[in-house]
Amino acid sequence: MGKIAFIGLGNMGAPMALNLVKAGRELAVYDLLPAGVAQLAAAGAQAAPSARQAVEGADIVITMLPASQHVEGLYIGEDLLAHIDPTALVIECSTIAPETARKVAAAAQARGIAMLDAPVSGGTAGAAAGTLTFIVGGDAGALARARPVLEQMGKNIFHAGPAGAGQVAKICNNMLLGVLMAGTAEALALGVANGLDPKVLSDIIAKSSGRNWATELYNPWPGVMDHAPASKGYAGGFGTDLMLKDLGLAAEAALATRSPIPLGELARNLYALHSAGGQGKLDFSSILNLYRKS
């Protein structure tokens, strides 16, 4: 397999691209911010001056961008598809609206280009460790082509269905994650306010019926887990505003299908309140600060 173009080198994209370089892949990289490009160039990737130049001659194009408008703007607004070889495979890893994923995939198909929506789960730690879960929408044949590359960045690969299905599954997962993190933070704050040690309570929950990913791997209470963002001033990780974006996508999907999501909407309101308090750039586990007594 030849050249890979990787566009979007933020907290998730940079470590994903770095794993491809470590695996011996030929990579051309681009990002609007120079820091990510410099990091990958130092590791052996080719720094491209633009997205269009990054995709020239690429067999695979991977993008990891913040939101729907950025994905649509790049592929359709800036017409990046016109600069991608029709034989290339596009793997879009951003978490975006399912309808946007379908729209961009249809535009790619009109040019004869195969495209997958492949949002990821696993956070920045999973991106760095190469243990991400890829939730893929699109043609099974295209997924077979993508699998060798995805396996160098992740551990689990699921085919959710046709174009847009990967985004639907990711939105459902992240809605549940937002609910679980808010609930975990609330429970820990209640316990500490009533005299419990947060680590002891976390250990109890992790071995009881309230166990979940947050208590076991991403604890929101500072000092309970050294590797968690909570113990690093809630720096890095998955930002509150990104969680708020994903909960908004869930609300849009629910509205389109008239599906009730009362807990999802409550979580969305909580994260909106938290973001409005000036903590939108902090990791989403900082929702604990809504409940914690100073």
Instruction: Point out the residues that are catalytic.
Output: 170
Using CA atoms, how far apart are residues 162 and 98, in angstroms rounded to an integer? 11
Cβ neighbors of 117 (< 8 A, separation 6 or more) are 92, 96, 101, 105, 136, 137, 138, 163, 164, 165, 166, 167
First to last CA, the chain: 55
Cβ neighbors of 252 (< 8 A, separation 6 or more) are 97
C-beta of residue 55 within 8 angstroms of C-beta of residue 84:
yes
Cβ neighbors of 160 (< 8 A, separation 6 or more) are 135, 136, 137, 166, 168, 169
Neighbour tally for 192: CB within 10 Å = 17
Using CA atoms, how far apart are residues 260 and 112, in angstroms rounded to an integer? 38
Neighbour tally for 7: CB within 10 Å = 24
Residue 205 vs residues 91, 185, 186, 198, 221: alpha-carbon distances, Å:
38, 12, 13, 10, 13
Neighbour tally for 162: CB within 10 Å = 14
